[in-house]
Structure 1
Amino acid sequence: MDIIREDCIFILKEAPVCWECLRDSRILITGGTGYYGKWFLKSFLYINEALSLNAHISVISRSPELFKKKYPEFAEQNSISFIQSDVRNLDTPYGRFDYLIHAATDVATNQEKDAPDEMLAVARYGTERILKYAKQVGVKKLLLTSSGAVYGIQPPDLDNMPETYQGMPTTIYGKAKKISENLCLESDINCTIARCYASVGPWLKLDIQYAVGNFILNLLNDEPIKIKSDGRPLRSYIYIADLMIWLWTILLNGDNKQIYNVGGNKAISIKTLANLVASVSNKNLTVLVQGQDNINLLPPRYVPDTSKAMARLGLKYNYTLNTGIQRTIEWHRQRI
């Protein structure tokens, strides 16, 4: 069972968009070698071939040869080309582009801690350069993948965070995404913004700061599932195939200068999430809560209100969290 191929088939079938919009089009993507980027490329390859769209996607990367060596499925594809460049230095016009997906500025704990200025510089100067380039090459629609981190701390008594909430980012990553958002909103480029929350699925890194990824790694290593907090924080998750349906739809159908939350809308505690991951194993894995409980405070929340995207763009949830976790674990097991 090729889980990624199944997901690409599902994306093509279930996205409420007219894929004909992409016929003979040229797409440019930044951040195309990251988590979202690989999913954009893989789903594009399948959709383009299945519908004979004659579309093409160009990936801006500082190290395209390294990426193609690590992910050979993207090498020697006629409908994919690579532009070796830092996004801040992109200058040469490589023909016209109809769509631009700006997905640079990955979540990276080492960069947040060790190189915050670099993260902010990529956001500011990279986005400024991309917007100028978009105008130069005739882009008719731009999608910025942002983050719920731009809101800052969600009030613990607010169940779901709406796009109208005027918060303030507290992390370097959140500040970087907010810079990119403001630049896009102030530009004269037709653009939409997707504020993304946590997801689960193939290609999610398991060894960085994503709790669900850490728990899955514990399971794959047949070791106790470790929770660093008290287990009470509340999060939500969306399976990657659903997330890609939402992102493609926001790119093709989203209104100019509109912001849409993208993520699961049902809160789950970190402890419940750990138990859910453990339940997929038949080895009765132990869940260890390492943080000290503080029942005197409401647990922190990070859960979006996604009613705007659902109502205006006809989006919905197709996968349960349980199914998403199972598919992610199965994909990793197939690669061991």
Structure 2
Amino acid sequence: MNTQFLAAKKAIDASEKILLASHDEPDGDALGSMLALKFSFEKLGKKADIFCASDIPENLKFLPGVEHIKKSVEPVYDLLFGVDYGDLKRLEGVTLDIPIITFDHHPLINQAGEIKVVDTNFSSTCEIIYQFLTENELKIDKEIATCLLTGIFTDTWSFRHPNTTAKTLKIVGELLLRGAPLRKIVRLINQQKIDIKSKIWSRALANIKQEQELGFIFCFINFEDMQKFNASLNDLAGLASLLCMVPGTKFSLVLSEVAPEKLDGSFRALPNQGVDVSRLAKALGGGGHKLSAGFKTKGRPEDIIEKVKKLISEGGFVNV
């Protein structure tokens, strides 16, 4: 058994009240991880709460247990379980002075805790949690299986990402056997606010610019348009991947103004193109994976784009 899994189980057994947390604007992997662990801890007789100050994306509200997620918590816990957050500064709003356990498939950057399972060989944090539960012989019922499969499905881009391995697909099969409804998950995950999404994507696609010599394509959505179409960052999910499909592109950036001069950046890269967007994101105060990363910053969008181009030209981030 993984020694960190064993240590984590001992810490859980010794705790009574456990708080689960992840990054802001949670995706399927973050929510699926927290919910699966909440259900599992409760089966062990523990009090387990999930803290998430951000709104839950509409297409993830089908997940069992989302109605119990808390937007504020009191300091009454004796263990904090951080999942899928990548960097301690992204562990949303949590300042409790208690022991921390981390499960994460992002690169090791600044994750917290004496007990850490941080491994980029897993497709998702939900896959790590599946391994943790099975190695500790903890029951995976239909609810837990649904949460885990949702996280794996979303973080592998519907099993199309290069992080999808034979082991990943074997786990998917096991989760299906435990009752996870794949067809329902696929349908509800892809259920978007079509009207809003089509309008904000149209506006974004009208602003595409390409640096062909660098293999770089990007677009910017300003705050005025985000407000005009009542759009959120979740409505832009998938846009950066779409931009990568433009011929001659190695990597893309979608830059969104979520408040005046408050920017959110989402990088995507194609495999085998010599691009590591996690390094670019880290240089801008963020992080992520080699092919998928992001950052938050303040400033004018044109200044951020120029900084990205300068990093590319001077930092050896891209093999051109």
* Length-normalised TM-score, structure 2: 0.36
Q: How does the TM-score come out when normalised to structure 1?
A: 0.34
Higher relative contact order (CA 8 A, sep 6+): 1
